Amino acid sequence: MKEKKTTMTKQVYIKTFGCQMNERDSEIMEQMLAQSGYIPVGEPTNADLVILNTCSIRAKAEQKVFSLLGSLRKQKKQQPDLRIAVAGCVAQQEGEQIFRRMPHVDIVVGTQQLYQLPEMLGRLERQETAREISCDLEKEFIIPPFQKLLQDRPPQSAEFRKFVTIMQGCNNYCSYCVVPTTRGREISRPVADILEEVRLQVNRGIKEITLLGQNVNSYGCTNAVAEKPTGFAYLLKMVAAIPGVQRLRFTTSNPQDLSTELMQCFQELPNLCPHFHLPVQAGSNAVLKRMNRKYTRELYQEKVAELRSYRPDIALCTDVIVGFPGETEEDFAQTMELLETVRFHGSFSFKYSDRPHTRSADFSDKVEEQVKGERLQRFQSRQDAISLERNQEFLGKTVEVMIESCSSADPSEPFQMKGRTGSNHIVHLRSSTQLLPGDLVLVTLTHAGQHSLKGVLKGVLP
């Protein structure tokens, strides 16, 4: 006989698209729903509730969401009391339209209304409403109501790192970017709340913290946060000083707001990891101008040189868009030139894609799809070669690695482990003793591939 689920053990499947901000939001939803009796499951089959936490950064990301929604239609036919919720950036951007296109969706919840989800579900369950939507963009920081939830949760053994959201939204209005529409205006979270969340996490056994915001460098600039001074460098120092924060990272930075004080943190704070994600987007000043990026290639290169003067071993990554409207072969050659001068350790590169309510969507001189594809390919193959050369620079060095996973297929064989360097490189290694996620070890690097390194265990750090 098929086991009948009690009302107390409902199952939720959450699929997360897009950035780390979304990953953190999914975690928050999971925690909230746990309090209403939902347990998370790894696939949609048999779930009572499916949540798609969506991304709209490029057209492709949005298409993925709609195609998954299309396939959920069949599941809902067979399982009529399945509830389907769309959260995140596509929900924020499309609102009511989602019901029109996908009538089997029950809930649309915007990026800043996550905390309403349990109430919305409650109204549906009590059949007070047939559908629920909430998509307002807030004028205050939305996270504080969630903070209490953390205290109730014991740490799980594999948990060793956490994201902590420090701000929401963005005020930069890069001409290609949908984020000001999907995440709203920039609002910083109070310093005291952030520090409290980090302390809570460390007390639960978390060892690595990543501070999250669309534009962390302008933290504290746009609204009064309770403490002065309030800049990002100040916040970073406060977080770094919390005992138990073994590793600290942050993302994402805009080069225009990158201060000397922040760069010096890489010299001053031993637990701040030597890794920096600094999106450049393009190497041509003309393109940067049309993108409404408020720096030049020269300024970007100066910032990189300054950063490296404080922390010579810092690994630098970037984002690049190829085929922005009006990008000529000459413009693109300048992006390639920048790649050669900076020699990024890694990069994320994308073909330009029109997004709703962005200025560049109305630019007339669009680059042909085929040209975009060809430029992307040229960029990526050069980047791959540079990444490999950069990785080879690590050979013979002994570095700190934080273990992420440890497994053994056969008890007589050594444990296979995967970990990460401070510079954010994946390292594979073996050990005859079992190590736990979050353990810090010393590893001498012996092999460099394009996307990862291999090494030999030299010791376990206390």
Residues with Cβ < 8 Å from 317, sequence gap 6 or more?
Answer: 275, 276, 277, 278, 344, 345, 346, 347, 348, 424
Closest CA to 278 of 355, 197, 358, 342: 342
Of residues 265 through 304, those in contact with ligand 5AD by CB under 6 A are: 279, 281
Query: Binding to ligand SF4 by residue 109, rule CB under 6 A?
Result: no
- 18 contact choice in ligand SF4, ligand 5AD, none (CB below 5 to 8 Å, kind-dependent): ligand SF4
DSSP category for residue 313: T
Q: Mark residues 310-339: x for contact with ligand SF4 by CB under 6 A, - for none.
A: ------------------------------
The tokens for 263 are 């760069």
Give the nearest distance from C-beta 160 to ligand SF4 in angstroms: 23
* Closer residue to ligand 5AD, CB minimum distance, 30 or 319: 319
Cα 290 from chain centre = 26
- The torsion of the CA quartet 192, 194, 198, 200, rounded to 10 degrees, works out to 70
Give the nearest distance from C-beta 143 to ligand 5AD in angstroms: 22
Q: Centre a 10 Å sphere on the Cβ of residue 371 and count the other Cβ atoms it contains.
A: 15
Candidates 120, 177, 248, 265; binder of ligand 5AD (CB under 6 A) is: 177
- Pair 138, 112: CB distance under 8 Å: yes
The tokens for 285 are 């000043």
Query: Binding to ligand SF4 by residue 22, rule CB under 6 A?
Result: yes
The tokens for 460 are 């376990």
Query: Binding to ligand 5AD by residue 176, rule CB under 6 A?
Result: yes
Candidates 13, 344, 352, 379; binder of ligand 5AD (CB under 6 A) is: 352
Window of 34-42, 55-63, 96-104, 393-401 that interacts with ligand SF4 by CB under 6 A: 55-63
> What's the rounded Cα separation, in Å, for the pair 321 and 347?
11
Query: Binding to ligand 5AD by residue 319, rule CB under 6 A?
Result: yes
Helix H or strand E encompassing 354: none
Which residue's Cβ lies closest to ligand 5AD? Answer: 319
User: What residues does 431 pair with on adjacent strands?
Assistant: 415
Convert 23-43 to b/e letters by CB count within 10 Å (16 or more is b): ebbbbbbbebbeebebebbee
* Closer residue to ligand SF4, CB minimum distance, 143 or 179: 179
Q: Please classify residue 189 by burial: count the beta carbons closer than 10 Å to its beta carbon, then call 0-12 exposed, 13-18 middle and 19+ buried.
A: buried
* Closer residue to ligand 5AD, CB minimum distance, 49 or 57: 57
- 352 contact choice in ligand SF4, ligand 5AD, none (CB below 5 to 8 Å, kind-dependent): ligand 5AD
- Please give, one letter per residue, the 3-state secondary structure of 210-235: EEECCCHHHCCCCCCCCCCCCCHHHH
Of residues 76 through 95, those in contact with ligand SF4 by CB under 6 A are: 88-89
Q: Mark residues 174-203: x for contact with ligand SF4 by CB under 6 A, - for none.
A: ----xx--xx--------------------
- 89 contact choice in ligand SF4, ligand 5AD, none (CB below 5 to 8 Å, kind-dependent): ligand SF4
Window of 53-61, 193-201, 374-382, 417-425 that interacts with ligand SF4 by CB under 6 A: 53-61
Window of 51-59, 115-123, 362-370, 376-384 that interacts with ligand SF4 by CB under 6 A: 51-59
> What's the rounded Cα separation, in Å, for the pair 227 and 231?
10
Interacting residue ranges for ligand 5AD, rule: CB under 6 A: 57-58, 176-177, 279, 281, 319, 321, 350, 352-353, 355
Interacting residue ranges for ligand SF4, rule: CB under 6 A: 18-19, 21-22, 55-57, 88-89, 178-179, 182-183
